[in-house]
Structure 1
Amino acid sequence: MWLTYSILAAIGFGLRGILYHWTSQKPLSRNALLCGTFTMGAVINLALALLTDAEWTAACLIGIQMGLFSFGANASMFKGFAVGKASLVAILTALPSVVVVAVAYLLWDERLYAMQLVSFLVIVGGVLLVRYSNDLSLRNLQGAQWGLLAMLLFAGNDLSGKWSTIMEASLYPTMVMMFTSGAACFGLWWLKDLRMPASGVAGTVVIAAVETSGPKGDAASPARWSDKRAFFVGMAIGITNTVGMMLIITAFDLGKAGLVSAVVAANVLLMLLYTRFVVKEKFKSTELAGIVLAFAGLVLMRLFGE
């Protein structure tokens, strides 16, 4: 069942990526949007926790760690896009599952059988090909440090999610802690932006440069979205993010952390299909090869990963 939950989580995060891509074409405050995204997650999970009379234990505090990791990972990723090469940052942020596999082995002795390892490598290889850009060069490594930090923090978030299941923390209270801490961090950053209106940089950025290059804006700049509008759009996006997080934590509870992380990373395939059929961007040969590899890895995982 862990594979089913992982694939469903990938779909949830893929839908979130599509919505992030759509908002990336709009002049809005990134921090207001992400604050709204995390706020919605906190509201939904608090309601579910109260309705189900969930148990609030000390283990649920792991959610705060998850929220801080998620905030730091997103902040590092966007900083990498701002100062460096998007393709390099994109590749590094596609590799958290490699870190998860290594750390899960060291911490919890999670071992991958031969065919599980093959499936894992095929999926990761496919995701890397999708993320790969032909203009990537070892001579241009700007932003690598931010991409590397984002990779480690995304891995930390996944490992924290797995740890919460090992500690038998209740799902909804843990998610409340995660989303509340994340919303608080983005909210504070948002307030900082409001105090520096003259800069005009921190408040309006591309949300999902990692996913696709996207169409460029024309000469006539559209009117900037109000922060209130960005916040409520973020809350709508937060529904997909919340569902994805619930599913991935459930998958972590049932399966091995590295395998779950690798399968969920394949959410980029849904984003790529969106850019092909909606945005009308043509597949590169590397992207097409990556799609085939990733799907082949999922098939192998279905056959040998359970």
Structure 2
Amino acid sequence: MWLTYSVLAAIGFGLRGILYHWTSQKPLSRNALLCGTFTMGAVINLALALLLDAEWTAACLIGVQMGLFSFGANASMFKGFAVGKASLVAILTALPSVVVVAVAYFLWDERLYTMQLLSFLIIIGGVLLVRYSNDLSLRNLQGAGWGLLAMLLFAGNDLSGKWSTMMEASLYPTMFMMFSTGAGCFGLWWLNDRRKAAEKAAAKVVIASALPDEEDRADRGVTASSASWSGKKAFVTGMAVGVTNAAGMMMIVTAFDLGKAGLVSAVVAANVLLVLLYTRFVVKERFKRTELAGIFVAFAGLVLMRLFGE
């Protein structure tokens, strides 16, 4: 059953990735979007916890750690994309499962059988082929530090999820703790962005008022800002994205409870295939040969995992 839940988690995160791709083309605040995403996750899990009369224990506080890891990972990933090579950051953020396998082995003695290890390596190889860029080289490693940090933090989030199941923490209260922590972090960042934007706008007003006429203002670059989404609209859109994110997290934690952390993490990493299919058939981007090869390799790994992973 762990494989079924892992595939469902991959579908949930794949849909989330598609929505992230779509929103990345819109003029909106990324922090407002993510605050909405995590807020919706908190609302859904709180409602389920109350409806099902879930048990709130100290172990549920592991969700706070998960929320901090998730916040740090997303922040590092977006920072890496902003200052470095997108392909390199994408490759590094595809590798948390490698860290998860290594740490799970040393912490909990989770061992992979030969065919499980082979399936794991094939899936990761396929994901890396999908993320690979021909213009990547050792001379072009901008953003590597942020990408590496994101990889470690994403792995920390997965390992924390596995730990919560080992501590028998209730699913929905733990997820509520995680999402409310993430929402709080992104909310504070969003408020800080708004404060900076307000200060910048006030400075522009002062400069504009000192100019003699509209022509001079235009000459000096003081023009109306381009239309962008309001913070409220970005937040509400994020809440819609949050439905897919919450579903994915509930599925992956359930999978961690039933299966080995490294295998679950590897299968879920294949969610990138769903995003790639979206870009091909909806956005109409052509597949590169490495991407096409990666799709076949990853699917082959999933088939092997289905045959030998249980």
Could you say which TM-score interval applies, normalised by the shorter chain?
over 0.9
**Correspondence for 1:133:** 133
Name the CA distance, whole Å, in 1 between partners of 2:100 and 2:123.
14
**Correspondence for 1:148:** 148
Are the structure 2 counterparts of residues 273 and 199 from structure 1 closer, same or farther at C-alpha, using a change threshold of 3 Å? farther
**Correspondence for 2:205:** none
**Correspondence for 1:6:** 6
In the alignment, does 2:286 pair up with 1:277? no
Deviation of 1:223 after TM superposition, in Å, equals 2.0
C-alpha RMSD of the superposition: 1.0
In the alignment, does 2:228 pair up with 1:228? no
In the alignment, does 2:34 pair up with 1:34? yes
In the alignment, does 2:293 pair up with 1:289? yes
**Correspondence for 1:167:** 167
In the alignment, does 2:239 pair up with 1:239? no
Tell me, what secondary structure is at the counterpart of 1:231? helix
**Correspondence for 2:24:** 24
Name the CA distance, whole Å, in 1 between partners of 2:20 and 2:76.
17
Name the CA distance, whole Å, in 2 between partners of 1:287 and 1:222.
36
Q: Which has the larger radius of gyration?
A: 2
Q: Which amino acid aligns with 2:233?
A: R
In the alignment, does 2:263 pair up with 1:254? no
**Correspondence for 1:109:** 109
> Could you tell me the percent identity over the aligned residues?
87
Q: Deviations along 1:67-89, whole A, 9 cap, x unmatched?
A: 00000000000010111100000
Name the CA distance, whole Å, in 2 between partners of 1:244 and 1:81.
23
**Correspondence for 2:189:** 189
Name the CA distance, whole Å, in 1 between partners of 2:266 and 2:200.
39
Tell me, what secondary structure is at the counterpart of 1:196? helix
Q: Deviations along 1:177-207, whole A, 9 cap, x unmatched?
A: 000000000000001001100669xxxxxxx
Task: Using structure 2 for the length normalisation, give the TM-score.
Answer: 0.91
**Correspondence for 2:207:** none
Q: Deviations along 1:19-48, whole A, 9 cap, x unmatched?
A: 001100000000000000000000000000
Name the CA distance, whole Å, in 2 between partners of 1:195 and 1:77.
23
* Unmatched tracts of structure 1, length 5 or more: 201-220
**Correspondence for 1:209:** none
Name the CA distance, whole Å, in 2 between partners of 1:90 and 1:145.
12
The aligned length equals 286
Q: Which amino acid aligns with 1:34?
A: L
Task: Using structure 1 for the length normalisation, give the TM-score.
Answer: 0.92
* Unmatched tracts of structure 2, length 5 or more: 202-224
**Correspondence for 1:72:** 72
Q: Which amino acid aligns with 1:239?
A: V
Name the CA distance, whole Å, in 2 between partners of 1:142 and 1:272.
24
In the alignment, does 2:123 pair up with 1:123? yes
Q: Deviations along 1:6-28, whole A, 9 cap, x unmatched?
A: 00100000000000011000000
**Correspondence for 1:300:** 304
The ranges of structure 1 where at least 4 consecutive aligned residues each deviate by more than 2 angstroms after the TM superposition are: none
Tell me, what secondary structure is at the counterpart of 2:20? helix
Name the CA distance, whole Å, in 2 between partners of 1:62 and 1:239.
22
Name the CA distance, whole Å, in 1 between partners of 2:17 and 2:250.
17
Name the CA distance, whole Å, in 1 between partners of 2:200 and 2:280.
35
**Correspondence for 2:213:** none
Name the CA distance, whole Å, in 2 between partners of 1:241 and 1:178.
12
**Correspondence for 1:267:** 271
**Correspondence for 1:207:** none
Tell me, what secondary structure is at the counterpart of 1:286? helix
Name the CA distance, whole Å, in 1 between partners of 2:285 and 2:68.
35
**Correspondence for 2:210:** none
Name the CA distance, whole Å, in 2 between partners of 1:91 and 1:138.
14
In the alignment, does 2:86 pair up with 1:86? yes
Deviation of 1:222 after TM superposition, in Å, equals 6.4
Tell me, what secondary structure is at the counterpart of 2:254? helix
Are the structure 2 counterparts of residues 143 and 4 from structure 1 closer, same or farther at C-alpha, using a change threshold of 3 Å? same
Deviation of 1:59 after TM superposition, in Å, equals 0.2
